[in-house]
Amino acid sequence: MSNLLSPVERYYTSKLEKFGALPAGVDWNSVEGQSKRFEQLSKLMSTDAEFSVADLGCGYGALLDYLSQRFNRFSYVGLDISQAMIDAAARLHPQVSNAQFLVGTKPDHKVDFAVASGIFNVKLAADEAPWRAYVVETLERMNDFTTRGFSFNCLTAYSDADRMRQDLHYADPCELFDLCKRRFARNVALLHDYDLYEFTIIVRK
């Protein structure tokens, strides 16, 4: 694990130890906010056909539960840098035959889709330049191992200044939209209209 992500792994492991397998355990404020994020991210997969999806930063597997309520035929691999998160996810989903949970940042095979929820937000003491490079490198990796597209969210640089924190990363949605449009696909959507201090980008190949 890179020096950039080691403190982040410890941060999320401590959140899980404190709050358990709940939205607060992955640093979200509420079930409602978590569901709203999943709704935006899963617009990528508006299909009745069978598909495969990788969930980067899967935490305790909440996205799997969300997708299972909306799609009938899919295979899922959840990835997280925290062993504690992976252990919790596996413990909560022991009988789910279409899912696996692994420590890491990418699957060992190509998938149709990939989703990354919240993994770019908590930078802690990291400087902005290397953190932005990490964001771009992660998007390039997601592009490499997906065949049909990927979606991700970020805290927005349009957040109220008095609410912004030094330990969080606030991305420029226009900059990332332009990067995805020029580098990854012709069909890119920017969603910034769902009443949270963040945005979602969907890349369709």
pLDDT of residue 28: 75
Q: Note whether residue 176 is domain-resident.
A: yes
* Distance in angstroms (rounded) separating the CA atoms of residues 11 and 41: 24
Query: How many structural domains comprise the chain?
Result: 1
Q: Note whether residue 188 is domain-resident.
A: yes
pLDDT of residue 16: 87
CATH number of domain containing 92: 3.40.50.150
pLDDT of residue 80: 97
Number of Cβ atoms within 10 Å of the Cβ of 174? 13
Give yes or no for a contact between 175 and 126, defined as CB atoms under 8 angstroms apart: no
Which residue in the block uniquely carries the two structure tokens 């597209």?
A: 149
pLDDT of residue 1: 47
State which H helix or E strand residue 120 sits in: none
**C-alpha angle 129-15-79 in degrees, rounded to nearest 5:** 65
Q: Note whether residue 129 is domain-resident.
A: yes
Give how far Cα 30 sits from Cα of 35, 47, 75, 109, 169, Å: 9, 28, 27, 33, 20
Q: Note whether residue 1 is domain-resident.
A: no
Tell me the pTM: 0.94
Mean pLDDT by 10 residues, the chain (205 residues): 85 89 78 92 90 97 95 96 95 93 96 97 95 97 98 97 95 98 98 96 98
Q: Note whether residue 119 is domain-resident.
A: yes
Paired tokens of 28? 């979200």
Range of the domain at 157: 6-204
* Distance in angstroms (rounded) separating the CA atoms of residues 36 and 28: 11
HEC sequence for 51-116: EEEEEECCCCCHHHHHHHCCCCCEEEEEEECCHHHHHHHHHHCCCCCCEEEEECCCCCCCEEEEEE
